[in-house]
Amino acid sequence: MIIVTGAAGFIGSNLVKSLNLRGETDIIAVDNLENGKKFRNLVDCQIMDYIDKREFLQQVKNNEYFASNVRAIFHLGACSSTTEWDGHYIMQNNYEYSKILLNFCRNRRIPFIYASSASVYGSGHVFEEDLQYEAPLNMYGYSKFQFDQNVRRCLGQNSSQIVGFRYFNVYGPREQHKGTMASVAFHCHNQMLDKGEVNLFEGYDGYGNGEQRRDFIYVQDAVDVNLWFLDNPDKSGIFNVGTGRSQTFNDVANSVLDWHKGGKLNYIDFPDHLKGCYQSFTEANISALRAVGYDKPFKTVEQGVQTYLDWLKQTNYDPATL
């Protein structure tokens, strides 16, 4: 079987669905459904069992899990809020939990594929998997950064697969439960449905209105990277998962406007609480990912937003259900 933590979340549920399309249904879905609306992400997925994240962790600590039947663990569960400053909560939830699962997998030679984040790079302009370029700006980024350091100490000593993915700005289907942490494309689409116009932040940090740049990656492209490593268990390491090219927030908003065939773009004040802890520019260096053998292309913002909004239309998505 395959275990997916964060299975009802954004990337996790897309991964479960993609595994299903490959004929994989012996999947243990681990998550926290205190936000019960996340169940919708798994309704069209086939799983063998669902386990609460706390119960699962206890089973792992007690060595209750029948590890001989586990093909791989995808660890995607975490508190992903970049505005959460409760350091104790973040480190327990993101760092300690991850360490326990990592050790569980190492001791049993189970492939361990986990979610890191591009937030480890902070406000730097070099996005390469190297300690000298890593300086997180918030507790979320620090929790991912510190776990990556733990993994680096293990990589040369381990005979089983360990892979960390530093996701850049992922967007696409099944993110509606994320609220304010959902993608710019999602929020712009909802604004268009509501008022026929979209809002972006005005200029900040040396960038013009809407000209802050991020590496936006469509969620299926990110999932495809996961599946490739599942199929190549001899490959280990920490890798950036982005397109390798930055695009502006204006590109995202205009792609939404183009899909809607009209609308207005406005600029609003940059929030004070984000100043000093906001990444105005990201662009993944994907040389390591390419060097290890992954050669599939990645969608541009224009391609990805078109595909995403088509999906929302086809699934009769209703923002009133959020």
Question: Active-site positions?
Answer: 140, 178
Starting at the earlier edge strand, list the strands of the sheet with 49-52.
Answer: 49-52, 27-31, 2-5, 72-75, 112-117, 162-167, 237-241
Other CB atoms within 10 Å distance of the CB of residue 101: 22
Residue 34 · residue 74 · CB < 8 Å: no
Complete DSSP assignment for 112-143: EEEEEEGGGGTT-S---SSGGG---SSHHHHH
The helix (H) or strand (E) run that includes residue 30 is strand 27-31
Helices in 261-300 by DSSP H: which ranges? Answer: 287-291
Q: What tokens appear for 263 in the block?
A: 């609308």
Other CB atoms within 10 Å distance of the CB of residue 231: 9
How far from each other are the two terminal CA atoms of the chain, in whole angstroms? 32
